Structure 1
């Protein structure tokens, strides 16, 4: 509906230009939702922009625009307010049409045209040196939900996990596993100081005891490679299983090693050299990142001849662009904030616009049990894994709670609250609204109502204010999705759901859906069904289930 209002305004503004010679170049038409009902269902301040550009009184311009707005089957009236705001009031037909569209084709109802041809969202790309811990899950939830939303509205989007399998950390992982293996055999063998000391490697080493004879037949080089590759494969297997159980399926798992093996690192280095953004100093090769706003220049090739992780990261993002992505979204931990400027600068140095890349920084999660902070696992004495918390509270609670605050805000995750089956628990509150809808519809069938007859319902019987408020909220669902594609604020979707659930629970408490009046019952069942459809659709984007019973 917002798009419909936008088109009405756009045509009126063009008429103002063509018929009255108004200057309307570079005018941005923004259609907003007023916070107060008396100002209508939609509003625009476009008249104020045009008035300033043409040195005319804003109200005069607003009145002229209103005169050129063509009659709409969905607009009851248009009013000029304040200095020149144009307010639009929808008629009942707009509300009834919303219900028809939702039930007819929800896929079409949420579909939004995209200006981007191919989008990639890379998220959750942790070092494969240990199990996925609970803090990683927040970035995973944000990235996965955003990608789900983009796919849901029909955008060509891929989810990608970047496997950091080429750095020194993988060598240390192999050495750490070897140390644990030797310890199990009774040798006094120390885990490298900078290695990985987690309990999980002891468990992994136990699996290798039955391969003792095979391992003893290897020379030192072969052993080093074997333990490195075994540890890497097992860690990746564990991460993939954990993510799958968390409801995340990637389209691509991309190996950092391939960038070196396929010559992409050398290729990007040569482009940067040719474009004049590298220089040598102290035996190292540097990137002139200060030319792009960075606080200091960055090393690409160290004095020992080895490529830095930063160089591989530039090569990786060039590879993304070469694969045809025209919008690249990375979800990083907030501790990587210093990398943003230099990487965007590198993209510019390669000859591409910096806004092809968007980076979402995600703050840490503090795990709570009531008022008590939990810092380590009681089971292992190690960091707390996603798997461990999911076993206790379930996937739905984790995903929903992790989306309740903006990424740049630190999040407290209260396990006790997440386990509560009451309206205090936000995910329970929303899921209960969906289950309540399903229960009402099932109850109607047991009382003899044929849900196939809902298409024939007289929607004009939905006259109550709470009914109209509910329908208006449903009408705004695709608009909320579209807003998120611009702001990337996926946390707005759970808040939309909470608001919709509050309206629905309030409506249910105020009115009897199934009554003696058969025609009114059918109309109200249509409304209930539409609420069910939208809640289920939004929850699926968030990766949260929509139970029919609770």
Structure 2
């Protein structure tokens, strides 16, 4: 509805300029807001106060002139000047309740728009290393990234959902080492398991699957490495990897590594599908490196004068482009750093022609943002086309106590375990209830409670309640009103007006959430709408004997149900008809 008010205000300002009343009035970025107090009307604007200084006129005088110009507009039932120069508006009831017909006519399309005008946008999220199952921290990034992509899609963007598979580098070798050592243990070999290796039960499960496929054949002649081979734990880990590479042979080591990676990756994909998250592209880091794209990116940086050599290593001059210091991209031993791969990956994103690139990262990557932006600039691309959404960690709370977790030690709650306990709907809703950059305490007890304290239950119950009203209508032999009812002539309760105004706000909220990359605005809106509806339902009988009033209330409730369903669809959760 705000756009209707803006159009009316802009038209009135244009008329006043033409009439000479505000001949010198410049364009100003004024606000149209909902007043905190309902007595102050439906909307308020500060336009007169912003024009006072450039027009050299008292703000109340300007507000009075503008209000007088607007009073003939059928959009408004009342206009008054308040305080130092605010203009408060009461919107005509026919306009307010006209939203009901719009919602019911558009149905599932209500709230959709062409804001994006087909702009190609890539959203990369989750991108967890395939070295273990997805845990609850990954789940929050999955939910937020998924809803951002959904918001962009419903606002007319051409969205590509992408998962970057970090399947190259040392962490994959550590995974292969971990599985191999557990495999040797299963064959009766005494193993000195390194503290820095992956210790979760899932590693044993992969080793068992490998043993079921190959028996003990791969253990023949293989001596387990000792973790005391070096006093430094990390060097000892690398030495153990090198030992097994030699003992197994490079080809067999790679086969085992790929088996472990593929097993985990398939589980990740299955868990994400069960969580309502699917991707258009699974992009392999190993494929990126094998295709020579990292070398190509380094060559571009060198041609552009951003690479120098020091102590045998190749460095990127990122400090000159906003980073806190320069970064190594190729070590003295010739191995490329993870950052070098990430530079190449982002170059490839830009070369694929996306108008905008959105990376959804964990908040622990906040220091990584300036160096990636620096690399994009150094590559000759527009860093403004990259947006980064940082997601704070989610902590599980059970019985009022935080659940302790350690990823490397294998002590963590997996996303699958969370979904099995609370369900997909509660998990997704809770994950996006807060701003991405705010810490989230995921209360397991609250998420499973069937009460008004549980926000997802409260919202879904509002939808189910309205469905129940419609069933009661049919059971009584009454037909749902099909033709438009003159709602404004029969609906006069303040709660009914508040519900209609909330319905007006839905499309604007969707566009704001999409533009700001803030999925929490959707859950916040749904909670507000559900709260308003439950209050209305508890205070007003819907299926009254008065036919026109009953029809009007049923149509209003049906519009609320439709908007609840549309909003829940954006979050990717169900709208139950019974609870």
**TM (normalized to structure 2)?**
0.89
Instruction: Kindly indicate whether residue 60 of structure 2 is the aligned counterpart of residue 59 of structure 1.
Output: yes
Deviation of 1:434 (Å): 0.8
Alignment of structure 1 residues 325-364 onto 2, 5 Å = 325-364=354-393
Distance 1:307 1:153, change over 3 A: same
Cα distance in 1 for partners of 2:533, 2:367 equals 45
| Residue in 1 that maps onto 2:35 | 34
Instruction: Kindly indicate whether residue 84 of structure 2 is the aligned counterpart of residue 50 of structure 1.
Output: no
Q: CA contact under 8 A between 1:10 and 1:29: conserved in structure 2?
A: no
| Residue in 1 that maps onto 2:154 | 152
1:20-72 deviation line (CA, Å, top 9, x unaligned)? 442525x3244322222233323332333333344443334444444555954
Q: CA contact under 8 A between 1:421 and 1:428: conserved in structure 2?
A: yes
Deviation of 1:282 (Å): 2.1
Q: CA contact under 8 A between 2:108 and 2:566: conserved in structure 1?
A: no
Q: Secondary structure at the match of 1:455?
A: coil
Q: Secondary structure at the match of 2:429?
A: helix
Deviation of 1:514 (Å): 0.5
Q: CA contact under 8 A between 2:198 and 2:410: conserved in structure 1?
A: no
Deviation of 1:488 (Å): 2.1
Cα distance in 1 for partners of 2:106, 2:217 equals 60
Instruction: Kindly indicate whether residue 257 of structure 2 is the aligned counterpart of residue 220 of structure 1.
Output: no
Instruction: Kindly indicate whether residue 187 of structure 2 is the aligned counterpart of residue 185 of structure 1.
Output: yes
Instruction: Kindly indicate whether residue 95 of structure 2 is the aligned counterpart of residue 94 of structure 1.
Output: yes
Instruction: Kindly indicate whether residue 336 of structure 2 is the aligned counterpart of residue 307 of structure 1.
Output: yes
* Paired residues, number: 546
| Residue in 1 that maps onto 2:293 | 264
Alignment of structure 1 residues 75-114 onto 2, 5 Å = 75-114=76-115
Which structure: larger Rg?
2
Q: CA contact under 8 A between 1:454 and 1:525: conserved in structure 2?
A: no
| Residue in 1 that maps onto 2:8 | 8
Instruction: Kindly indicate whether residue 140 of structure 2 is the aligned counterpart of residue 138 of structure 1.
Output: yes
Deviation of 1:13 (Å): 3.9
| Residue in 2 that maps onto 1:402 | 431
Distance 1:30 1:314, change over 3 A: farther
**Which moves more between the two structures, 7-16 or 360-369?**
7-16
Aligned match for 1:126, one of 100, 112, 128: 128
Cα distance in 2 for partners of 1:505, 1:256 equals 50
| Residue in 2 that maps onto 1:478 | 507
Instruction: Kindly indicate whether residue 327 of structure 2 is the aligned counterpart of residue 298 of structure 1.
Output: yes
Cα distance in 1 for partners of 2:476, 2:56 equals 66
Deviation of 1:192 (Å): 4.7
Q: CA contact under 8 A between 1:367 and 1:414: conserved in structure 2?
A: yes
- The runs of 4+ residues in structure 1 deviating greater than 6 Å are none
Cα distance in 1 for partners of 2:135, 2:446 equals 20
Cα distance in 1 for partners of 2:110, 2:73 equals 19
Instruction: Kindly indicate whether residue 284 of structure 2 is the aligned counterpart of residue 255 of structure 1.
Output: yes
Distance 1:55 1:215, change over 3 A: farther
Deviation of 1:130 (Å): 0.4
| Residue in 1 that maps onto 2:26 | 24
Deviation of 1:252 (Å): 1.6
| Residue in 2 that maps onto 1:230 | 259
Aligned match for 1:391, one of 420, 441, 448: 420
Cα distance in 2 for partners of 1:517, 1:226 equals 75
Q: CA contact under 8 A between 1:175 and 1:191: conserved in structure 2?
A: no
Q: Secondary structure at the match of 1:76?
A: strand
Deviation of 1:487 (Å): 2.5
Gaps of 5+ in 2: 221-246
Distance 1:498 1:388, change over 3 A: same
Aligned match for 2:348, one of 301, 319, 323: 319
Instruction: Kindly indicate whether residue 518 of structure 2 is the aligned counterpart of residue 489 of structure 1.
Output: yes
1:464-507 deviation line (CA, Å, top 9, x unaligned)? 11111111111111121122123322112212111111111111
1:117-143 deviation line (CA, Å, top 9, x unaligned)? 112221111111000011211111111
Q: CA contact under 8 A between 1:17 and 1:24: conserved in structure 2?
A: no
**Which moves more between the two structures, 126-135 or 280-289?**
280-289
**TM (normalized to structure 1)?**
0.93
Q: Secondary structure at the match of 1:86?
A: strand
Deviation of 1:262 (Å): 2.7
Cα distance in 1 for partners of 2:402, 2:380 equals 47
Gaps of 5+ in 1: none
Deviation of 1:353 (Å): 3.5
Deviation of 1:277 (Å): 2.5
Distance 1:18 1:102, change over 3 A: same
Q: CA contact under 8 A between 1:172 and 1:196: conserved in structure 2?
A: yes
| Residue in 1 that maps onto 2:174 | 172
Cα distance in 1 for partners of 2:417, 2:445 equals 15
1:213-260 deviation line (CA, Å, top 9, x unaligned)? 696499622211111111111111000000111111112211122322
**Which moves more between the two structures, 65-74 or 135-144?**
65-74
| Residue in 2 that maps onto 1:536 | 565
**Which moves more between the two structures, 417-426 or 258-267?**
258-267
